[in-house]
């Protein structure tokens, strides 16, 4: 049991069929063959720009989408092959927190009602025991119990996100998938939620799959990071190493593009061009039309594989770029 | 001291919104001045009044329910708070232009980029006084020139395109071109990159910075992201709940933030590099603006509050080095002078 990663994703692919133009049918390659691994108690950040497929990965892992190809193994067993009993079990073990806390709470349910719902469905809790558990959960997320009979519109954004987190941890999940959990919040509230999430992870022994476009937030919460571009992982490794010494040209530009709160900062190179359409991906490496370090025709014809680059201090670094050929292994 | 008048000076501006529950005191004595060619950023969290402030400069707020209760907005010596609608038409676009937040909702989806851009160019030509009209040139040529200025590739082709055919970054470039069409002396950018990805954001910020240098424009850039503001602006104004709490050069603000709110805001931002330090949020939430506190509006959340803060509103005072702060911790030179 000890060696089996909590979550393993192998060659995960999700293509959406979409209609384009008057007659045309097109395929949107949202996620195009990615491998991820999450050990118990780890926090993996998934970063990328809009359209990179990071949210689709979250939805695939939580079972909201069915993969087109590839495998998702939870504690070593493939989730697609699970029977209904195991699936139900999976619903307890994998929980999700969404970006917008306002739209993910039912406006007609009290806070008590929202947090109690998973408990009544999965644990068949009723009456005093249900109430006691909800109170306990509110305490876990540092909310006063007087919020219990209030409605979502009476709470601030940060308080609502705490309620969503309370609901997600109600069934003692093993894996928490957080999809941009602080993007809708102001920075002073975001800081509170991030610190709280770090503390909660230790306390409840949780594993996080943390999705965000905000690199600094990921740096703060995650021990490892995977950078996505156009449905592929282009670079992965320990967060501090990847951010301090990025290898992939895209990671470099992405990091250089973040406006940091420093006065008189040096001018960083700005990446030209637009994010390509995921319907018409360029052949070869999807980053080649914008890449500042393109080496030649190989970039236009061959999509580089994600290959290991030697050991970092806390894990393996991987990169998918022709500048780092597989021979280096 | 009477060297020259600032280009724009907002003087003790108070603005209320009338609601069924009473008047919301949205702006409570805003003081901001900027000179020609100066770049000023306004930062603050949701509800601090930064968008309302710039919208009141252009008088784009619906009035009623919005209402100026006192103060003045002096632009080139004229008070925009009391200017006629006719005068405002000559100011919007020709003197002061706006780059909005969400480029898609500011472009009409049923007209091409060219139709919309030439409309703006023609409207400006009509509104300009006859003697100041530029040499006759077709609106279409002028549109191509503007799109070239904002580095939009293939401008002739893009003029025929509908907004939905452009990416978010390209749409924002079109709106910047529109803002430049009237050759304004002041550009207001209201969260110009919030809807964009970070690599595209970097392109747009670079473009705005270049235009400012090349055309000598004054800029007010609003953002909730202090990093975005630092890219373009030399001076930063921090707002909180309808008040200016601090106004300083970017260097001073980051090196020695004076107001407890500014300090809290900077401590709350996760850093991209360096040690994984502890973040501290600011507990509590913004006050109810229907019944704002009598004293400092940050009183309830302030870690350094004193008795005087509850009862007396701190004025914005000079704290040296061009840095101004509204906090009782800093008495300001005037009071000190009394004892010296």
Summarised one tens digit per residue, pLDDT across range B54-74 is 989 999 888 888 888 888 899
Q: Is the pLDDT score of A265 beyond 80? A: no
pLDDT tens digits for chain B (340 residues)?
Answer: 445 788 899 999 999 888 888 888 889 989 999 998 899 999 998 888 888 999 899 998 888 888 888 888 999 888 988 888 888 988 898 899 999 887 788 899 999 999 999 989 888 888 777 666 655 568 888 899 899 989 888 888 889 999 988 888 889 999 999 999 988 999 999 988 888 888 888 888 988 988 888 888 999 999 988 989 988 898 999 999 989 999 999 888 988 999 999 999 998 888 887 766 788 888 877 888 888 888 888 988 888 888 888 888 888 888 887 899 998 888 765 444 444 3
Q: What's the rounded mean pLDDT across residues A9-30?
A: 82
Question: How many other C-beta atoms are found inside a 10 Å radius of the C-beta of residue A225?
Answer: 26
The chain A residue lying nearest B231, using CA atoms, is: A259
* Number of residues that make up chain B: 340
Q: pLDDT band for A263, please (50, 70, 90 cuts).
A: low
pLDDT of res. B338: 41
- Closest Cβ opposite residue A254 in set B198, B255, B280: B198
Å between A166 CA and nearest CA of chain B: 19
Show residues of chain A in contact with B279, CB under 8 Å: 191, 194-195, 220
The DSSP bridge pattern shows strands A307-311 and A94-97 to be: unpaired
Hey, are the CB atoms on B167 and A275 less than 8 Å from each other? yes
Do the bridges between strand A232-238 and strand A224-229 make them parallel or antiparallel, or are there none, so unpaired?
antiparallel
CB-CB under 8 Å, A260 with B271? yes
Query: Are A187 and B170 an interchain contact pair (Cβ–Cβ within 8 Å)?
Result: no
Q: Mean pLDDT over residues A98-127, rounded?
A: 90
Considering only the beta carbons, identify the residue of B267, B271, B280 that sits closest to A216: B271
Residue A311 scores a pLDDT above 70: no
Q: CA nearest A215 in B: which residue?
A: B272
pLDDT (0 to 100) of residue B311: 87
Tell me the nearest-neighbour CA distance from B324 into chain A, angstroms: 17
Number of neighbours of residue B268 by Cβ within 10 angstroms: 21
Distance (Å) from the alpha carbon of B138 to chain A's nearest alpha carbon: 30
With beta carbons less than 8 A apart as the criterion, state whether A87 and A123 touch: no
Name the residue facing B226 among A215, A261, A275 (closest C-beta). A261
Q: Tell me the pTM.
A: 0.84
Q: In the 8-state DSSP scheme, what is residue B167? A: -
C-alpha to C-alpha distance for A198 and A186, rounded to whole angstroms: 18
Q: CA-based Rg of chain A, rounded to a whole angstrom?
A: 21
A267 or A194, which is more confident? Answer: A194
Q: What is the pLDDT of residue B187?
A: 93
Burial of B105 (0-12, 13-18, 19+ CB in 10 A): exposed
Distance of alpha carbon A92 from the chain centroid: 18
Q: Give the three-class secondary structure for B321.
A: coil
Two tokens, residue B184:
């304004």
pLDDT above 80 (res A97) = yes
Quick one: average pLDDT of A46-72? 89
Query: Which residue in chain B is spatially nearest to A214 when comparing CA positions?
Result: B198
pLDDT score of A118 more than 80: yes
Give yes or no for a contact between A147 and A155, defined as CB atoms under 8 angstroms apart: yes
B198 and A188 within 8 Å at the Cβ level: the answer is: no
Reduced to 3 states (helix: H, G, I; strand: E, B; else coil), residue A165 is helix
Residues A64-90: tens digit of each pLDDT: 888 899 999 998 888 888 888 888 888
Q: How many CA atoms lie within 13 A of A34 on its CB side?
A: 30
B269 contact residues in A (CB cutoff 8 A): 187, 191, 216, 261
User: For residue A47, what is the nearest residue in chain B, using CA coordinates?
Assistant: B198
* pLDDT level of residue A329 (50, 70, 90 thresholds): very low
Residues on A contacting B at a C-beta cutoff of 8 Å: 49-50, 156, 158, 186-195, 213-217, 219-220, 240, 243-244, 253-265, 268, 270-272, 274-275
Lowest mean pLDDT among A21-25, A220-224, B234-238: A21-25
Give the Cα separation of B4 and B125 in Å (integer): 30
| Whole-number Å distance between alpha carbons of A153 and B122 | 46
Cβ-defined contact of B199 to A253 (cutoff 8 Å)? yes
Q: What is the pLDDT of residue A276?
A: 75
Number of Cβ pairs < 8 A linking chain A and chain B: 125
Check B249 against A263: CB less than 8 A apart: yes
Q: What is the CA radius of gyration of chain B?
A: 21
Give the model's pLDDT for residue A327. Answer: 52
As a dihedral over the C-alpha atoms of residue B156, residue B157, residue B162, residue B168, rounded to 10 degrees, the angle is -90
Tokens of A142: 């540092």
Test mutation, B49, B166, B198, B284, chain A, max A CBs within 10 A: B198
Check residue B333 and give its pLDDT.
55
Of B45, B272, B285, the CB nearest to A215: B272
Give the three-state DSSP class for A36. Answer: strand
Residue B336: the pLDDT is 45
């Amino acid at each position: 049991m000890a060696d089996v990663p909590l979550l393993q994703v192998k060659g995960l692919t999700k293509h959406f069929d979409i209609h384009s133009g008057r007659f045309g049918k097109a395929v949107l390659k949202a996620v195009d063959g990615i491998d991820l691994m999450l050990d118990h108690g780890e926090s993996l950040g998934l970063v990328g720009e809009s359209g990179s497929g990071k949210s689709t990965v979250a939805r695939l892992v939580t079972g909201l989408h069915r993969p087109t190809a590839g495998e998702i193994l939870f504690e070593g067993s493939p989730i697609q092959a699970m029977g209904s009993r195991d699936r139900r079990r999976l619903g307890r073990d994998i929980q999700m927190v969404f970006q917008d806390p306002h739209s993910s709470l039912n406006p007609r349910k009290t806070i008590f009602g929202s947090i109690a719902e998973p408990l009544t469905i999965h644990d068949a809790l009723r009456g005093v025991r249900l109430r006691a558990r909800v109170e306990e959960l509110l305490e876990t997320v540092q909310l006063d119990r007087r919020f219990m009979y209030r409605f979502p519109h009476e709470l601030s954004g940060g308080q609502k996100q705490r309620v969503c987190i309370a609901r997600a941890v109600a069934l003692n999940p093993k894996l928490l998938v957080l999809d941009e959990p602080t993007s809708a919040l102001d920075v002073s509230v975001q800081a509170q939620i991030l610190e709280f999430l770090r503390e909660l992870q230790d306390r409840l022994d949780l594993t996080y799959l943390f999705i965000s476009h905000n690199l600094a937030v990921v740096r703060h919460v995650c021990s490892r990071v995977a950078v996505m571009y156009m449905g592929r992982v282009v670079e992965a490794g320990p967060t501090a190493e990847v951010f301090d010494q990025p290898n992939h040209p895209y990671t470099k530009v992405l990091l250089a593009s973040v406006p940091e709160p420093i006065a008189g900062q040096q001018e960083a190179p700005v990446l030209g061009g637009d994010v390509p359409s995921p319907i018409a991906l360029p052949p070869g490496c999807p980053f080649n039309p914008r890449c500042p370090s393109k080496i030649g025709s190989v970039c236009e014809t061959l999509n580089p594989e994600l290959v290991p680059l030697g050991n970092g201090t806390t894990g393996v670094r991987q990169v998918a770029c022709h500048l780092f050929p597989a021979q280096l292994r | 001291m009477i060297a020259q008048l600032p280009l724009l000076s907002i003087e003790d501006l108070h603005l209320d919104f009338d609601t069924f529950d009473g008047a919301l005191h949205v702006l409570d004595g805003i003081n901001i001045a900027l000179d020609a060619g100066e770049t000023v950023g306004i930062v603050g969290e949701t509800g601090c009044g930064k968008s309302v402030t710039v919208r009141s400069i252009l008088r784009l707020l619906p009035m009623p329910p919005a209402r100026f209760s006192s103060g003045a907005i002096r632009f080139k010596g004229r008070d925009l708070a009391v200017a006629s609608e006719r005068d405002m038409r000559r100011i919007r676009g020709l003197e002061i232009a706006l780059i909005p937040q969400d480029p898609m909702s500011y472009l009409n989806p049923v007209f091409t980029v060219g139709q919309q851009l030439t409309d703006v160019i023609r409207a400006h030509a009509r509104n300009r006084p006859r003697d100041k009209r530029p040499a006759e040139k077709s609106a279409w040529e002028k549109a191509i020139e503007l799109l070239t200025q904002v580095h939009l590739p293939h401008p002739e082709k893009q003029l025929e395109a509908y907004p939905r055919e452009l990416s978010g970054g390209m749409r924002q470039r079109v709106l910047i071109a529109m803002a430049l069409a009237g050759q304004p002396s002041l550009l207001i950018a209201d969260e110009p990159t919030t809807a964009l990805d970070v690599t595209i954001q970097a392109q747009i910020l670079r473009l705005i910075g270049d235009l400012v240098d090349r055309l000598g424009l004054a800029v007010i850039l609003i953002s909730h992201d202090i990093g975005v503001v630092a890219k373009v602006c030399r001076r930063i104004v921090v707002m909180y709940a309808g008040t200016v709490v601090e106004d300083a050069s970017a260097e001073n603000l980051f090196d020695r933030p004076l107001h407890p709110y500014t300090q809290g805001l900077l401590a709350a931002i996760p850093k991209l590099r360096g040690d994984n330090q502890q973040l501290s949020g600011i507990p509590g939430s913004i006050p109810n603006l229907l019944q704002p506190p009598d004293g400092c509006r940050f009183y309830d959340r302030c870690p350094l509050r004193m008795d005087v803060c509850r009862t007396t509103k701190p004025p914005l005072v000079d704290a040296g080095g061009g840095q101004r702060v509204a906090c009782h911790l800093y008495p300001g030179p005037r009071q000190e002078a009394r004892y010296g």
